[in-house]
Structure 1
Amino acid sequence: MFKKSKQFLILSFLCIPYLFFAQQENNNHNQANHIRTIQFISDSEFAGTPVIKLGQPIRITFDDINGDEADYYYRITHYNFDWTPSSLYKNEYLDGFDEVRIITYENSFNTLQMYSHYTLTIPNEDTRRLKVSGNYGIEIYNDDDEVVFSRKFIVYENITRVIVNTKRSRDLNYINSKQSVQFEISSPNEILRNPKRTIKTLVIQNNDFKQAITDLVPQFTIANKLVYKYDQESSFWGGNEYLAFDSKDIRASTVNIRNIELKDLYHNYLYTNNVRANRRYTYNPDINGNFVIRNLNAQDNNVEADYVWMHFFLECYEPLNDGEIHIYGNFNNFTLDDSTRLQYDKERAIFYTKRLFKQGFYNYKYVLLRPDGTIDPGFISGNFDETENEYMVIPYYRAPGARYDRAIGKGVNNSANITN
């Protein structure tokens, strides 16, 4: 009995480091406070977690507001579908090598906030190409091997055809508040055999991977097509159009900025927002949570766009039940932290916060973070089936005996074309 217990304890201690490592690898590292405005740019899109075609170049840019020209390095890792590290060796997914210093950077010019602007482009003379498709993560770290931020991205092979449609919910309880994603995956190859074991799918709304659906299996097969015609299982809350502000000229008020102050930096004060959940839907074009850096008076937005303190105000009388209200958007990869949390002013009966943003056009909205860690995106904004959202479906394939999950296609649809 003692021998078995001893063996169990030894195995437990051996497993703990692996489980901890897998859990750490599964999550993005906390972003250092001096690292700002991270953009992951490809030829066709930019987003917090971009989806790029195999062989397509990518570019990562970020600012260090310490402005001291610090040295930063990058490390690339390949992951399985569930974001656990794959069993591939580095030379199996990377042509060349990583853990190399980022050599392209320049300092800000004519700005109140000094910063250094860094650019990493892949391929380069060290990292020549990514060999395989699938999930990837990149870590940026400093001379002390401290990770200052990390990001995920997906590389896909275009070997399947993915047709995506957006439908109104068939459940009458949600017909006015949810949008259902239905899709088909077709391929002339043999990869669609035994799909319930070899095929996985990722369904994303507005490039927000934190709300993605990952557990769908094909309902039936027609010839070489896998058909997914779910309703509630593949439905998302419709949400509402994002709010926006434009700080392209930080010295002038705009339609959403009520007044301006110059202290150490410029401070822009937004008009007070209200709860929209109890109002009717109103069409307001947005860019689905994204942002664009721009300075009206600059020739190079990368280094001439200044930083400004944006002040947010929200009037909300709904009971939060120990929840927290946060501003939410792709400006920080849809992350909720202390910089996005609103405080409550009892005297004015208003929620408020301020956050440092680089000049540009930004989408944002307010969400409720519940005590159990779940996010309610419609608590403040409401949920409407008319809302314009973009949906993306990515199928993954693992052949019998294979050691990693391949991303084998991409399909996109916009709910502006929603049907019953």
Structure 2
Amino acid sequence: MAFSRCLAALCLLWLFVAGRAEVTDTSQAIFDPAFRSLKVTLDANEFAPPVITLGDPLSRLTVSFDELGDERRFMRYELIHCDAFWQPEGLVASEFLDGFNEGEVEDYEFSRATLVHYVHYSITIPNREIRITETGNYLLRVYDESNPDETLLQARFGVSDFSAGVYAGVTSLTDIDTNRNHQQLGLTVDLQHAAGIDDPFNDLRIVVSQNGRADNEVVLTAPQRVLGDRVIYEHLRPLIFKAGNEYRRFETVSTSYPGMGVENISADTPIYNMWLYTDSPRGAIPYSYDSTQHGRFFVRESSSSRSDTEADYVMVHFGLEMPEIAGADVFLDGDFVQRRFDPVSRMVYNRATGRYENSMMLKQGAYNYQYLTVPSGSLQGETAPVEGDFYQTVNEYTVRVYYRPRGGRFDRLIGVGMIVSGN
């Protein structure tokens, strides 16, 4: 009976996804290479999910980024309301906000005492021009005033009324193995304070992400059962995740001495170079706990209290020593590459050194990263080939609950929950 329920849920999920319209790229991304260090932060809490509480004047979100160079660029931004899959819903601005749907990027500061010059920009939502009136997913698109059709970068965030409670548990006793390579979630959505939801089997969508990754995100369109106000999702195969491994870490907070994970520093060029210790596969090594930021990065300069404008940019060199993997690419994963599989995050195999290599200019700080292997023709990264999968891994799962009644024009975000495995 349990298997039949799981199969039915999977079929519903496949039918729903197969019927979607052509996908627009609405991932969080930087499209202009002059821009760096895109971050979305809620109430100055770098660990909180980027979800504003609707109607709370103290709930504010900041989108920040840098542009390399000495001159301020005149830019504007706009908000786009998106569905649970982050596709634009075609709403007019008056349907989801008061005020204007766009604004000027006004807050900026020039870098101070850095080898690499840059301008630091920030946008705060809500503000005097934009007041959001509906829950849901939002895409913030930034563009040059002189060329509004070309997107420079875009950031994702959510707005919720938190009318639905989210309760979740994580176990390594999964429906496919026990204390081996996977973790399984069980979810309960409490609709006691969410008025008007008469058909949770058809009107709710649940989205579950692991450590902020989008490539292995799971969408549920039907619960296992409903008991009164409680909507239950248990023993569903889509809620079984490969456990992965703890994120790797490095720190570039000082240019005077090597930080964590840094083997060597060189300042003989116009930019500091930092070579990380050469990495190697960890799948055959016993699991070892390490403090984790779940893929985040924090801008920090050890001698400054104004890291946003006084942290320098350094060239960071990554190396992964292992045989080349046939039929697949290896990518860096973490917030610092916006979780995208693209040329910026791709590791290039150097047959002369027997290593995958990548170099990129990053702002001083503390970074989490891992290596994901993406088979040819696939859009999903695998942890097993380089990092391994260990049931003990501390993973952060975020659950988002969306509601759209029959005939509704958009997806409402009515609940958000976060759970860390092992806690």
Q: TM-score, normalised by structure 2?
A: 0.89
CA RMSD of aligned residues (A): 2.1
1:184 aligns with 2:177: no
Q: In the alignment, which residue of structure 1 is the partner of 2:65?
A: 62
Instruction: Kindly indicate whether residue 352 of structure 2 is the aligned counterpart of residue 347 of structure 1.
Output: yes
CA distance in structure 1 between the aligned counterparts of 2:49 and 2:70, rounded to whole angstroms = 26
**Aligned residues of 1:169 and 1:235 also touching (Cα < 8 A):** no
Between the two proteins, what is the percent identity of the paired residues?
Answer: 27
Structure 1 gap ranges (5+): 1-18
**C-alpha separation between the residues in 2 aligned to 1:254 and 1:190?**
52
* Per-residue deviation, 1:310: 0.6
Deviation, 1:187, is: 1.8
Shift of 1:47: 7.0
- Cα deviation digits, residues 164-193 of structure 1 (max 9, x gap): 110124335464111111110112245442
1:119 corresponds to which of 118, 122, 144: 122
Once residues 26 and 60 of structure 2 are traced to their aligned partners in structure 1, the CA distance between those partners, rounded to angstroms, is 25
Question: Could you tell me how far 1:370 is from its partner in structure 2?
Answer: 1.6
Matches within 5 A, 1:1-400: 23-24=23-24, 26-27=26-27, 31-43=31-43, 45-46=45-46, 50-55=50-55, 56-127=59-130, 129-142=131-144, 143-145=146-148, 146-173=150-177, 175-188=179-192, 189-262=194-267, 263-317=269-323, 320-374=325-379, 375-400=381-406
Tell me, in whole angstroms, the C-alpha distance in 2 between the residues paired with 1:106 and 1:386: 43
**Secondary structure at the counterpart of residue 208 of structure 1:** coil
Report deviation, 1:208: 1.7
What is the SS of the residue equivalent to 1:388? coil
Residue of structure 1 in register with 2:11 after alignment: none
Q: Distance in 1 between matches of 2:162 and 2:94?
A: 23
After superposition, give the CA deviation of every residue in 1:59-116 in whole Å (9 maximum; x if it has no partner). 1110001332111110101012222222432111111113322111011000000000
The alpha-carbon deviation at position 214 of structure 1 amounts to 0.5
- 2 CA distance for matches of 1:192 and 1:408? 11
* TM-score, normalising length: structure 1: 0.89
- Which range is displaced more, 170-179 or 401-410? 170-179
Residue ranges of structure 2 left out of the alignment (5+ in a row): 1-18
Secondary structure at the residue paired with 1:91?
helix
Distance in 1 of aligned mates of 2:173 and 2:388: 16
Measure the CA separation in 2 of the matches of 1:184 and 1:93. Answer: 28
Does structure 2 retain, via aligned residues, the 8 Å contact 1:86–1:404?
A: yes
Deviation at 1:282, TM superposition (A): 0.6
Aligned-partner residue type, residue 102 of structure 2: E
Q: 1:339 offset after TM fit, Å?
A: 2.1
AA matched with 1:256: G
* Higher gyration radius (CA): 1
Rounded Cα–Cα distance in structure 1 between residues aligned with 2:196 and 2:178: 36
Distance 1:345 1:399, change over 3 A: closer
SS of equivalent to 1:303: helix
Structure 2 SS opposite 1:214: strand
Between Structure 1 and Structure 2, how many residues are aligned?
Answer: 397
Instruction: Tell me what 1:15 maps to.
Output: none
Distance 1:44 1:298, change over 3 A: closer
Q: Per-residue displacement from partner, 1:289-321 (whole Å, max 9, x unpaired)?
A: 00110101123111100000011111112x512
Letter in 2 for 1:51: V
Report Cα offsets for 1:188-207 as digits up to 9, x if no partner.
24544221111111111112
